[in-house]
């Protein structure tokens, strides 16, 4: 909610600043406004405000979109790599006995339903470590 308020207020200020800048520049070009040090500073400040708000507003939008994009889509390659790595560690811990590893994972799934696949591998590895101590 806070980011939306920043975006709305920033857009409004950007719009007003853009209108003022356009008005001042048009008056300068048409010759209705004298070009002096004060109008130069005013025009430069409007350009600075407009540019800064434009940059901050779109930076905020890009950051918000990238955060929502990163949160919505998990990395399947990384998850698959982690799952395979943990299963391989478990099989190595059991001296290559794949059937025993699968049985232990299935047993953990029955005892703790609804958890991610890599959690079961970690759980079985932790149980084996605890049993060996």
Question: pLDDT tens for residues 31-42?
Answer: 888 888 887 888
Please state, in angstroms and rounded to a whole number, the distance separating the CA atoms of residues 36 and 43: 11
pLDDT of residue 78: 55
pLDDT band at 9 (very low <50, low <70, confident <90, very high): confident
pTM (two decimals): 0.41
Please state, in angstroms and rounded to a whole number, the distance separating the CA atoms of residues 49 and 13: 9
- The residue with tokens 């047993």 is 107
Please state, in angstroms and rounded to a whole number, the distance separating the CA atoms of residues 32 and 47: 20
């Amino acid at each position: 909610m806070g980011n939306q308020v920043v975006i709305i207020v920033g857009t409004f200020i950007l719009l007003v600043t853009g209108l003022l800048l356009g008005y001042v520049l048009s008056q300068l070009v048409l010759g209705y406004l004298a070009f002096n040090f004060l109008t130069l500073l005013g025009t430069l400040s409007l350009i600075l405000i407009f540019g800064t708000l434009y940059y901050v507003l779109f930076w905020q939008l890009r950051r918000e979109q990238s955060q929502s994009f990163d949160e919505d889509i998990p990395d399947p390659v990384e998850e698959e790599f982690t799952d395979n790595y943990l299963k391989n560690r478990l099989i190595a811990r059991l001296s290559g006995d794949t059937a025993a590893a699968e049985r232990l994972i299935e047993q953990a799934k029955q005892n703790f339903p609804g958890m991610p696949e890599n959690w079961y591998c970690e759980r079985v590895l932790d149980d084996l470590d605890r049993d060996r101590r």
